[in-house]
């Protein structure tokens, strides 16, 4: 692993060890929506042997288990694995590396990764590893956030940061929006050896009970975005928060709930 990729991995791991509970509270319901669709598309049913990579709090693993699948969930963050075990104590969660899976060739019928590809130093290697551990006719599926204009929850924040924020020095990783393109999703699957590939788009809704929950979800429940916000001085951060609240208020319902449109790209391939 190069020094740059090693630094990025260390940065990601450090943050994912700290944001566990705030991620679950702020982003869990949103990412769980995508996970259920992912399970539908790769075809998880009773008896399916599934590996959920970058399992986080275990949402996809739990959904697969509810369909009768035999599931193992892995994540490189020990505290995130503990969170998953606490939420779903009957399931098998382990620490593991998406880019170096500790399983024999052909072990699983399905492999899933729900938004994990955004947080890897070498995503292509992780896709090749997913291919390796799949049995013939197995399927691998992953999700990534769509382009900024379709992920309003990210664009309203980035607009505020561009207006009031300053650059923050963090380890450079792969482009966050690289897999927002269905073509690039298909290409990474084909390059790994998948014979049949598909892509689609999921129209999701980020629901928060109150606008007061929004900025803390960014600041304390994310990795790259959270580090960017934490690195601002107090004055800039306050201005960014004010602008975010102002922009997000257009998505407030009569009961005070905030409902923000968020789209995701979903891609899956089949191993022959």
| Per-residue pLDDT tens digits for 41-61 | 999 999 999 999 999 999 999
∠ Cα 28 183 262 (to 5°)? 25
Q: How many CA atoms lie within 13 A of 216 on its CB side?
A: 11
Q: Is the pLDDT of residue 96 over 70?
A: yes
- pTM for the model stands at 0.96
Greatest Cα pair distance, the chain, in angstroms, is 56
Number of other CB atoms surrounding residue 247 within 10 Å? 17
Q: What CATH superfamily is the domain 3-270?
A: Vaccinia Virus protein VP39 (3.40.50.150)
Quote the mean pLDDT of the chain: 96
**pLDDT digit string, tens, across residues 124-133:** 999 999 999 9
pLDDT in tens, 218-271: 999 999 999 999 999 999 999 999 999 999 999 998 899 999 999 999 999 999
DSSP conformation letters of the chain: --HHHHHHHHHHHHHHTTSHHHHHHHHHHHHHHHHHHHHHHHT--TT-EEEEET-TTTHHHHHHHHTT-EEEEEES-HHHHHHHHHH-TTSEEEE--TTS--S-TT-EEEEEEESGGGG-S-HHHHHHHHHHHEEEEEEEEEEEE--GGGBHHHHHHHHHHHHH---------S-TTGGGSHHHHHHHHHHHT-SEEEEEEEEEEEEESSGGGHHHHHHHH-SHHHHHHHTS-HHHHHHHHHHHHHHHGGGB-TTS-EEEEEEEEEEEEE--
Judge whether residue 1 has pLDDT over 70. no
């Amino acid at each position: 692993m190069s020094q740059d990729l090693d630094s990025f991995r260390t940065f990601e791991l450090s943050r994912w060890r700290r944001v566990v509970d705030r991620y679950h509270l702020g982003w869990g319901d949103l990412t769980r929506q995508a996970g259920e669709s992912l399970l539908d598309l790769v075809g998880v049913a009773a008896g399916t042997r599934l590996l959920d990579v970058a399992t986080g709090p275990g949402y996809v693993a739990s959904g697969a288990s509810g369909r009768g699948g035999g599931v193992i969930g892995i994540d490189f963050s020990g505290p995130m694995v503990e969170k998953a075990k606490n939420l779903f104590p009957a399931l098998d969660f382990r620490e593991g590396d998406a880019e170096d899976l500790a399983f024999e060739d052909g072990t699983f019928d399905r492999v899933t990764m729900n938004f994990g590809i955004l947080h890897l130093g070498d995503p292509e290697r992780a896709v090749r590893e997913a291919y390796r551990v799949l049995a013939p006719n197995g399927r691998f599926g992953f999700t990534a956030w769509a382009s900024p204009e379709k992920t309003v929850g990210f664009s309203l924040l980035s607009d505020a940061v561009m207006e009031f924020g300053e650059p923050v020095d963090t380890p450079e990783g792969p482009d966050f929006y690289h897999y927002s393109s269905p073509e690039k999703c298909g290409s990474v699957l084909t390059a790994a050896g998948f014979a049949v590939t598909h892509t689609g788009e999921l129209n999701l809704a980020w629901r928060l009970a109150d606008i007061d929950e929004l900025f803390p979800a960014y600041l304390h429940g994310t990795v790259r975005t959270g580090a960017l916000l934490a690195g601002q001085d107090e004055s800039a951060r306050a201005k960014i928060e004010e602008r975010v609240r102002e922009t997000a208020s257009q998505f407030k319902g009569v009961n005070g709930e905030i409902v923000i449109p968020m789209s995701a790209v979903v891609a899956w391939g089949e191993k022959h």
